[in-house]
Structure 1
Amino acid sequence: MALILGDFIWVNVFTALVVVYIVKYYYSWYTRENPIPGPFPLPLIGNLHQLGLDMGKGAVKLQKEFGDMFEIYLGPTRAIFISRAELTEKIYNPTLKNNEFSLRTPSNPGLEELHLTETGITFNRDLNAWKFNRRILNLTVMSPKFMRESVKFTNQICDELEKYWSTINPNNKIDFARWTSCLAADIIVTTSTGTKGYSMADYINSLPNSIKVKISENILGESLKFIESMYMFISCVMFYFSFPPFVRKFVPVIKTMYHKYRDNNIWLNAELDRIICNRKREIQSAPSDQPIENNVLNLLITLNTEMDTNKITGIDYSRPLTNIEISCTLKEIFDAGMDTTRNVMCYIMFYINKYPQVKDKLIQEYESIYGDLSKKLDVTYESLDKLVYTEAVINEVTRLIPPLPVFMRAATFDTEIGGYKIKKETTVILTKFEINLADPEAPLKLSYHGIQHCDELYMYINQKSNA
């Protein structure tokens, strides 16, 4: 009897706590300052059930119902979605000083648990560390020596891709999205680590009646597990960001996902540390007169060492990078490069097949620069600057369908957008928005998408808009 009574008391206490939490949650929601139109949230999960796993598609659906500026809750965190170009001027301000949106995200326990708020660029909230990591990327992935090396690697991978295509049985149905995923993964892995990726080889081996690529099962398995782990880490970041710690660790089903992501992070961190340590030993044991390959990993390891001719100075950073810093930078490069590269390649193929006249102009440009296209092309780093129309097409496609469905920022202090007050630490998420080409400010807005060769691109856009 006493046991039953004790259980009954605990049930009542738990029920009372839940009721108090729900009442407090909705009291805060109904009395919030300067409310913006948006869907009705639920306790703990907010509007995650309406946004869905694909934030881009969910945002488009909610935009149709609530307009170009609406608010939702990612768990307990308020987020404001904006889908109108003229509202983005403050958010895209490139300066750091007095910038209302210099941070990518607000303080978030999930990102802190992943140690992303103190490393890298994307989620780093330490301005000095952010500046240092930005300079690291400028001296690695933006350096001419890496660009030349990456062009060489990419040529080799594309030659491999062409060889695979020539052996495919004509009756096989090819999943082009899968192909582009494999191609993007192999390019990013190879240019970042100098170690060959085998995603394309694995896919060709999975096709029926194909000529199999002979690869050691151990090598293939290790390569695929590493790439799969990287893709899982990309999903993990959004999972940790969206769900508060209590929900991640104790709510059924979600708790299972949390354990899966946590175990993957443990394995990935250990694997990256192993790769970095092995490469350091290779570099140290190599002859002094032997040139070091200019992949990202080698450049990060030799940064600020006696092998580095462009040492970083200032900002209290003049030391070599630690294994953790190198690991975090590599993860950021993988995360930023794999999905975006895959998406852009798919979108470009779709549009140039939809508009044959664009494909014809691309072919004409390549013939004018590289000559006979039936022969092997000599694509060099220097020749890429001559592909003006190609760059215009790439930028126009990424305007029509951005490779990232959303772009996130956080208010660094109280501000205002579209007549609504935005409090400090509020998440602001930009989704795809259309640009009115008749607007005299259109060139300014287009420049936010990184467009460089404006004359050619504007000519092309106007032709398409008048068609």
Structure 2
Amino acid sequence: MAVLQTLHKGLPPGPRGTLVGGNLSQIGPRRVDFFLELARTYGPIASFRAGRWRLFLVSDPSLIQQVLVTDARSYVKHFGVRTFKPVLGNGLLTSEGEFWLAQRRLLQPPFLKAQVLSYAPVMAELAEAMLAKWTPGKSVNIEFEFSALTSAIALKTLFGLDDHGDRERIDSSLRLTFALLTVRLDALFQLPLWLPTAANFRLRRAIADVNAVIDGFIAQKMSRPLGSDLLSTMIAAQREDGTRMTPQQLRDEAMTLYLAGHETTALTLTWSWYLLSQNPEAEKTLVEEWRRVLNGRAAQASDLPSLPYTSAVINESMRLYPPAYVIGREATADLELGGYRVKKGYTILMSQWVNHRDPKYFPEPERFRPERWLDGLAARLPKFAYYPFGGGQRLCIGVHFALMEAAIVLATVGQKYKFTLDADAVIDIMPQITMPPRYGMPATLARR
């Protein structure tokens, strides 16, 4: 009772909304702008409503740590993540409790740092294979090119499979699925998926396409001797009671890991090249580092400690354009946070887009300044001032994989080619479960 007596009465400050929709009309398609304005106007803990959902946006690093670490057992993934369950299933991203913990332990070994290092040659080899298909003057969509590459890398390293063309089908279906689910998430009322509406029909068809490709990956793997890749590990894994993963569990984890294994890194590379194209001095410094260390050859894992500016560019890209831009948790009991009562069922949002633009930790926060990372900034920051891969026990399982892949691909590709954005290109963000460019990233290739 002593703790409860110290709580503020009522809700944290926030914008007024309408009786039915709350603040839905204010959130809009660029919801990150709403989050940023909310934090800057109302402070480290702000309140708003989206339809029937009461949400707190928390931007103080110590409060974020309380949610993701200290009180983690009293929260589950929020309604936004659950909206994407029709495509992600009950994989690592969406599952909870003991089931999640058992799956995490099962899937962890292939992502340990020592094992991840063994994937580096494949990453460089596939990057060079992509380069062999490029020609100077060719018009490309940067996002498409790097999505294709990181998809091929994920299939080879995680699933032990070569890309035979199904990748384009699944990526197209995934993009449509996420767009339709985002519209569904933003709706005031969500109609049951079984209703025969045009939107539900399109969504069910897109999900069926995704499932067919993933099922094909699994069937292809099961038709041959199992190897040491992650998919083989999942198929062969046996629990203490002698049971194995069901076909549905295999599908859910394969879908989640395929998405996490390529989409976020592709976006990091896409936004990195966009930022470099707008900051020629930073690109010049980067190229000089590659020439000094690599002298034209593909990057290897052993080179990465000698490429600090490359790492700085990747860190700065993920600061300004974090592939995952918001984390949400729903309270499973009445709690306290920042002096306010968090009732059971309330949702706490924590936005990397907001925290990564805090001028207290990042002077000139909207400027692309990779050099800010060269003097030990990462070690000086509070734990949740910069968290592109989340945090706590649910820290992204593929963090080492993603960082190594981004550095190897950036250096291997960047030594050979540069990108010039089309003069009429319109660059904007499209916040979904990740944050791709709304209209792609059209550019022209030029030899370095």
1:159, distance to aligned residue in structure 2 (A): 0.9
1:251, distance to aligned residue in structure 2 (A): 12
Matched residue of 1:79: which SS?
Answer: strand
Conserved? CA contact 1:229–1:268, under 8 Å: yes
Change beyond 3 A, Cα 1:346–1:438: closer
Conserved? CA contact 1:140–1:300, under 8 Å: no
Change beyond 3 A, Cα 1:165–1:435: same
Aligned to 2:368: none
The AA in structure 2 aligned to 1:50 is: Q
The structure 2 residue matched to 1:131, chosen from 98, 101, 105, is 101
Change beyond 3 A, Cα 1:147–1:367: same
The structure 1 residue matched to 2:91, chosen from 114, 120, 129, is 120
Residue 103 in structure 1 maps to residue 73 in structure 2:
no
Comparing 180-189 with 320-329, greater Cα deviation is found at: 180-189
* RMSD between superposed Cα atoms in Å: 3.9
Conserved? CA contact 1:105–1:427, under 8 Å: yes
How many aligned positions are there? 365
Aligned to 1:181: 147
Conserved? CA contact 1:41–1:73, under 8 Å: no
Query: Within 1, Cα distance between the matches of 2:263 and 2:28?
Result: 19
Change beyond 3 A, Cα 1:195–1:438: closer
Matched residue of 1:70: which SS?
Answer: strand
Comparing 329-338 with 432-441, greater Cα deviation is found at: 432-441
The structure 2 residue matched to 1:418, chosen from 318, 338, 343, is 338
Larger RCO (CA within 8 A; separation ≥ 6): 2
Query: Within 2, Cα distance between the matches of 1:351 and 1:193?
Result: 32
* Superimposed CA distance per residue, residues 396-451 of structure 1 (whole angstroms, 9 cap, x where no aligned partner): 33223322221222224322333332112321112222152499995224564579
Aligned to 1:340: 264
1:386, distance to aligned residue in structure 2 (A): 4.4
1:237, distance to aligned residue in structure 2 (A): 5.2
Residue 60 in structure 1 maps to residue 36 in structure 2:
yes
The AA in structure 2 aligned to 1:417 is: L
1:317, distance to aligned residue in structure 2 (A): 6.4
Aligned to 2:214: 272
Change beyond 3 A, Cα 1:106–1:228: closer
Unaligned runs of at least 5 residues, structure 2? 1-8, 364-376, 390-398, 404-448
- Percent of aligned positions with the same letter in both sequences? 19
Query: Within 1, Cα distance between the matches of 2:123 and 2:241?
Result: 33
The structure 2 residue matched to 1:159, chosen from 128, 139, 145, is 128
Change beyond 3 A, Cα 1:255–1:385: farther
1:328, distance to aligned residue in structure 2 (A): 0.8
1:79, distance to aligned residue in structure 2 (A): 1.9
Aligned to 1:248: 191
Residue 323 in structure 1 maps to residue 289 in structure 2:
no
TM-score (norm 1): 0.65
Matched residue of 2:98: which SS?
Answer: helix
Matched residue of 2:46: which SS?
Answer: strand
Conserved? CA contact 2:85–2:94, under 8 Å: no
* Superimposed CA distance per residue, residues 20-55 of structure 1 (whole angstroms, 9 cap, x where no aligned partner): xxxxxxxxxxxx953641241463x55444323443
Aligned to 2:381: 443
Comparing 440-449 with 71-80, greater Cα deviation is found at: 440-449
Change beyond 3 A, Cα 1:42–1:189: farther
Residue 90 in structure 1 maps to residue 66 in structure 2:
yes
Matched residue of 2:161: which SS?
Answer: coil
Conserved? CA contact 1:416–1:422, under 8 Å: yes
Unaligned runs of at least 5 residues, structure 1? 1-31, 198-218, 285-291, 305-312, 454-467
Q: Give 1 or 2 for the bigger CA radius of gyration.
A: 1
Change beyond 3 A, Cα 1:320–1:430: same
Conserved? CA contact 1:90–1:101, under 8 Å: no
Conserved? CA contact 1:47–1:74, under 8 Å: yes
Conserved? CA contact 1:100–1:415, under 8 Å: no
